[in-house]
Structure 1
Amino acid sequence: MLAVMGDRNVRCGLSTGQQSRWRLLQTGFNTAAVNMAVDEAILLAHSQGLVPPTLRFYGWKPPAVSIGYFQRLEEEVDLEACRRLGIDWVKRPTGGRAVLHDQEVTYSVVIAQQLLPGSVVETYRILAAGLVEGLRMLGLPAALVGRDEQNAGERGLSAACFDAPSWYEIAVQGRKVVGSAQTRSNGVILQHGSVPIVFDAEKLVQALKLLEGARSRVHRLLAEKAGGISDFLGYRPTFAEVAGCLTRGFAAARGIELVEGVLTPEEEKEAERLAREKYGSDWWNKLGRQQ
């Protein structure tokens, strides 16, 4: 395991006076394996002090279900239904439950723990402020709602992320509009999440492995508890419009300068390897809990 060394951070442009400058990446639409591989490649590069803190936006092509690190793919996801519907699948390096990535904007944040100290819950709350601000800039009355204020004591009925309450939810009119998950490795935080433009509860239910009698109930509860941002805007914003507002929201909430950049050649090479050997493989998606 590589450690984050203070002198290495200074040499690579992450001195105290420069921590307010983050890299902004727009990496377009990729497969599930590539998307997860790029997130991990950025984490590894940042842990070595090779790249600054990074905010990334991306999409999924084809649509995919991602499951949390501690879930078991064949227990939670109906693989035959996914094949029929043209839905890919992947196990995330982060925890949480299953998410259908389709008509959405996905974000990821990679930052050293020494630059954003605190527990998982505390750092999630800090990063969520940027998402809330960005959604407000889009015209939505978004709010960060504590678990004790919404869904207190409730347990999800399915493997779906948007069915499960967490410590803090980003909600609009009482409905969850962002699903996020976090992991920490090599002294670095990786948090990524789904911001659905359209939330398709029916498609998500079809992709999950559920008892037949529970499908209609889960579908109804998902539709009541979660939504896509187009449900509240009255129109369907573009990917670029949503990503642009979230970018400005992060910058304003965190007081940072976001500088557009690209993946380094080293990150690209590592992402290609991880997509091929890890996130695109059965050992990881169906069996693996070891890296």
Structure 2
Amino acid sequence: MRGEYKVPGGKLVAVDVEEADGRLSSVAISGDFFLEPDAALEDIDGALVGMAATSTVAQLTQVVESVLHEGVTMVGFTPEAVAIAVRRALGHATRWEDHTFEIVHEGAESPAMHMALDEAMAEAVGAGTRAPTLRIWEWGAPAVVIGSFQSLRNEVDPEGAERHGITVVRRISGGGAMFIEPGNTITYSLTVPASLVEGLSFERSYAFLDDWVLGALSELGIQATYVPLNDIASPAGKIAGAAQKRLASGAVLHHVTMAYDIDADKMLEVLRIGREKMSDKGTKSANKRVDPLRSQSGMARADVIEAFKNHFRSRYATVDGAVTDAERARAAELVDLKFGTQEWTARVP
């Protein structure tokens, strides 16, 4: 059995394993990584032989680390990367290539409906009734989206929100507040089975699931990088923020909002915490725009989105898809019971 794992920003680790009586009877690690001294590779292979086929990534990582003496140097990979490749070989984890992804890009939705569609479609992925999905959002109204655990009163100025017609909604993932203006942001959700990030910590899974969009940005001439824990930035500054939720059903929801061309003055009138963050960056001038994607790519928003979709298609097996009637009905129910209610929006006052 063979498993592979490409380290985000690093090298490919491959492993061929044989299993007998519930244990690893043969292990051969290979890849385009760098390792010194050469004999360390045999030590790693030997350490893994005899491990239970049900061993976790943490257990496999620990046994690899146990044979790495002080003089061993690993470049482009880690003990954890070896462990993930082993788990994939044993069928406990999947690769991007094991899935066909739906790309869903439909018309504008209300902020509450977007929150609900995320949950409904993640439920469907977890239940196996939907393939892994990349969904591009179109916004029907300006909004502030706060994280699951944020304080409503600490994040949002209600007078500023009312003055600018801003709808405030709360999502199911953690992280910080997002200021949204239709046409001035790019938001997408990547919903995948948990097997794709099996064994990855939250931090590593952010980098893993953001890797494709870094490639898309590079094709547009933007040299973006992942900045732990959940940001994407270029030398000119922050481009995007991500948030993630792992559902008990077995799905992982990873969504990202990118600034295309945002009115910073308006944002500061609506987001309380934003005033401190922006003042730290020296952003105080009138009519300031936050426009990394527009200014750095020189492209229209719609063209940037098409470039993103085309890059995703070039990397993975994809089909064009749509929200199903059942998913839309479930989302409408979630709007009524949860995302459209003050009880949910103000659940952390």
TM range (shorter): 0.7 to 0.9
1:243 shift after superposition:
1.6
The answer on 1:256 being equivalent to 2:316 is yes
Q: 1:208 aligns with which of 258, 271, 278?
A: 271
Contact 1:180 1:191 in 2 (8 A): yes
Q: SS of the residue aligned with 2:215?
A: helix
Q: Unaligned stretches of 5+ in structure 2?
A: 1-93
Task: Report what 2:23 is aligned to.
Answer: none
Larger radius of gyration: 2
**1:72 and 1:31 mapped to 2: Cα distance?**
22
**Normalised TM-score (structure 1):** 0.77
Distance 1:215 1:177, change over 3 A: closer
**1:210 and 1:167 mapped to 2: Cα distance?**
19
Distance 1:222 1:273, change over 3 A: farther
**2:339 and 2:329 mapped to 1: Cα distance?**
15
Task: Report what 1:269 is aligned to.
Answer: 329
The answer on 1:116 being equivalent to 2:229 is no
- What amino acid is the match of 2:217? L
The answer on 1:196 being equivalent to 2:259 is yes
**1:130 and 1:216 mapped to 2: Cα distance?**
28
Q: SS of the residue aligned with 2:108?
A: strand
Q: SS of the residue aligned with 1:220?
A: coil
More RCO (CA 8 Å, sep 6+): 1
Deviates more, 1:195-204 or 1:276-285: 195-204
**Normalised TM-score (structure 2):** 0.65
Distance 1:222 1:280, change over 3 A: farther
Distance 1:168 1:72, change over 3 A: closer
Distance 1:236 1:16, change over 3 A: closer
Distance 1:287 1:250, change over 3 A: same
The answer on 1:77 being equivalent to 2:156 is yes
Task: Report what 1:163 is aligned to.
Answer: none
Distance 1:216 1:37, change over 3 A: closer
Q: SS of the residue aligned with 1:56?
A: strand
- What amino acid is the match of 2:336? R
The 5 A counterparts of 1:1-291 are 19-102=98-181, 103-117=184-198, 118-137=200-219, 139-146=220-227, 166-167=228-229, 169-185=231-247, 186-209=249-272, 217=279, 220-221=282-283, 227-233=291-297, 235=298, 237-239=300-302, 241-252=303-314, 255-287=315-347
- What amino acid is the match of 1:36? M
Q: Unaligned stretches of 5+ in structure 1?
A: 1-14, 147-165
